[in-house]
Amino acid sequence: MRVLVTGGAGYIGSHTLVELLGQGHEACVVDSYDNGSPIALDRVRGLTNGHLEAHEADIRDTARLTAIATAFAPDAVIHFAGLKAVGESVARPVDYYDVNVTGTLSLMRAMAAAGCGRIIFSSSATVYGEPEYLPYDEAHPLRPTSVYGQTKRMAEQILTDWAAADPAATVMLLRYFNPVGAHASGRIGEDPHDIPNNLMPYLAQVATGQRDRLVIHGDDYDTPDGTGVRDYIHVVDLARAHVAALDRAAGVTGAEVYNIGTGRGTSVREMVAAFSRAVGRALPVTVGPRRPGDIAAMEADCSLARQMLGWQAQYGIDDMARSLWVWQSANPEGYRGAAGESRASQTPSSEIRPKP
Ligand code: NAD
Ligand code: WQD
């Protein structure tokens, strides 16, 4: 299929491109490079043989997005582009609603102009909020506790209403749990532009000496070791879930929603232990107070994705930790440390040619 990928230069988008191109799909990326890098796209090209076009554009620029979509004529869209920091979303609500909600509406207008009615959307487990029961299944009530979570919930609702209005439309809402790790090559990975907020990118910078120590945000939760429990999923497994959703989207209409996790909860201390094994030494850790707004434990019921998409996660936390360390140790400054590399895809609207 011809797939328009918004936000393809980011963490999850770049890994998904590798899987898409590896399966013979063709991709056209639209990314503002606000939090992604054209070097990631160069490296995706180096890992694959597929057809990859890249355009530097903001998804809120409907006219430009329409021109790109009309020229590419996609069979489907995967919509990653968005802002994703929970704390920042509370401080900058207008920007978050604008990019995540207005940006999604802009994309839908461009899709309509291009005659494309299939979309896979990056939603988040954060739409559930405080658990009424665990593991969360897709029918769990949606009560997001942050502006970021609200933007995802609103975008889900808009896309669901759109599918209800158009009998030919297909919407796949994927609720990701906690993506971590990197491609096994270490060529692409997560590249936080600021001090990382999330556990594993922060811990990775502790291992390289860029941060002094990890502060565990509370060890007095009602969990087996007192630290927070999350459902971490290898980013390559998550990327493959998009390919599975795309395959299904080709044969169905309407809106469907899927949890994408492993179904297994892991505590902060267990993740620290796994990453220490990957690095080969103990890492400095202290315990601090709870982080405001944190939930004690989150786990996904992924049985629907297994049944309907034929997808389930293959990798465990040691695979996640090892791949993260391969990426982080080779790229301690992320893509900013790759200044000497070819920047073919940095030219606006450049086309990255298939490998001979
Ligand atoms: P990311 O920041 O690495 O990737 C997002 C990409 O979108 C970046 O390349 C950025 O430059 C681009 N972008 C941002 N605003 C844009 C705009 N206005 N126009 C065009 N491009 C724009 O984030 P990620 O971790 O790869 O997340 C991808 C998607 O998955 C996001 O929608 C995020 O909310 C969602 N998600 C992420 C997680 C997570 O923990 N990483 C969990 C659940 C859901
Ligand atoms: C994991 C655990 C922390 C940092 C967030 C978003 C969610 C989704 C994924 C986008 C918790 C603990 C963390 C640290 C710590 N993103 N921790 N010390 O909060 O589960 O989810 O990212 O959709 O929406 O909310 O992920 O990695 O921040 O935290 O002890 O320095 O690690 O308290 O228990 P979270 P996280």
Q: Hey, what amino acid is at 179?
A: P
pLDDT at 349 over 80: no
Tell the residue nearest (CA) to atom 1 of ligand 1.
10
What's the pLDDT tens digit per position in 38-52? 999 999 999 998 889
Q: Give the separation between CA 109 and CA 96, rounded to whole angstroms.
A: 19
96 catalytic per annotation:
no
Which ligand 2 atom is the nearest neighbour of the CA of 227? Answer: 34
What's the pLDDT tens digit per position in 101-144? 999 999 999 999 999 999 999 999 999 999 999 999 999 999 99
Q: 353: pLDDT confidence band, cut at 50, 70 and 90? A: very low
Residue 201 contacts residue 278 (beta carbons within 8 Å): no
Q: Give the separation between CA 175 and CA 198, rounded to whole angstroms.
A: 18
* SS3 category, 253: coil
pLDDT at 356 over 80: no
Q: Which residues contact 153 (CB under 8 A, 6 or more apart)?
A: 127, 142, 144
pLDDT value of position 157 = 98
Q: Hey, what amino acid is at 20?
A: L
What's the pLDDT tens digit per position in 170-200? 999 999 999 999 999 999 999 999 999 999 9
Q: What is the pTM of this model?
A: 0.96
The DSSP call for residue 100 is I
What's the pLDDT tens digit per position in 68-92? 999 999 999 999 999 999 999 999 9
Best of 84, 124, 178 for a ligand 2 pocket test (most atoms within 8 Å of beta carbon): 178
CA of 188 to the centre of ligand 1 (A): 15
Kindly name the residue from 33, 128, 148, 176 that is annotated as catalytic. Answer: 148
**Tokens at residue 332, please?**
């301690």
Average pLDDT over residues 330-353: 66
pLDDT at 203 over 60: yes
Does the CB atom of residue 84 touch ligand 2 within 6 A?
yes
- Kindly identify the ligand whose nearest atom is closest to the C-alpha of 68: 1
Which ligand 2 atom is the nearest neighbour of the CA of 295? Answer: 34
pLDDT at 286 over 80: yes
Q: 337: pLDDT confidence band, cut at 50, 70 and 90? A: confident
User: How big is the chain by its Cα radius of gyration, in Å?
Assistant: 19
List the CATH code of the domain at 2-351. Answer: 3.40.50.720
**Sign of dihedral through CA atoms 161, 162, 166, 172?**
negative
Q: Give the separation between CA 112 and CA 72, rounded to whole angstroms.
A: 13
Which ligand 2 atom is the nearest neighbour of the CA of 201? Answer: 27
CA of 230 to the centre of ligand 2 (A): 8
Q: Give the separation between CA 33 and CA 56, rounded to whole angstroms.
A: 7
Does the CB atom of residue 338 touch ligand 2 within 6 A?
no
Does the CB atom of residue 304 touch ligand 2 within 6 A?
no
Which ligand 2 atom is the nearest neighbour of the CA of 84? Answer: 10
Residue 181 contacts residue 274 (beta carbons within 8 Å): no
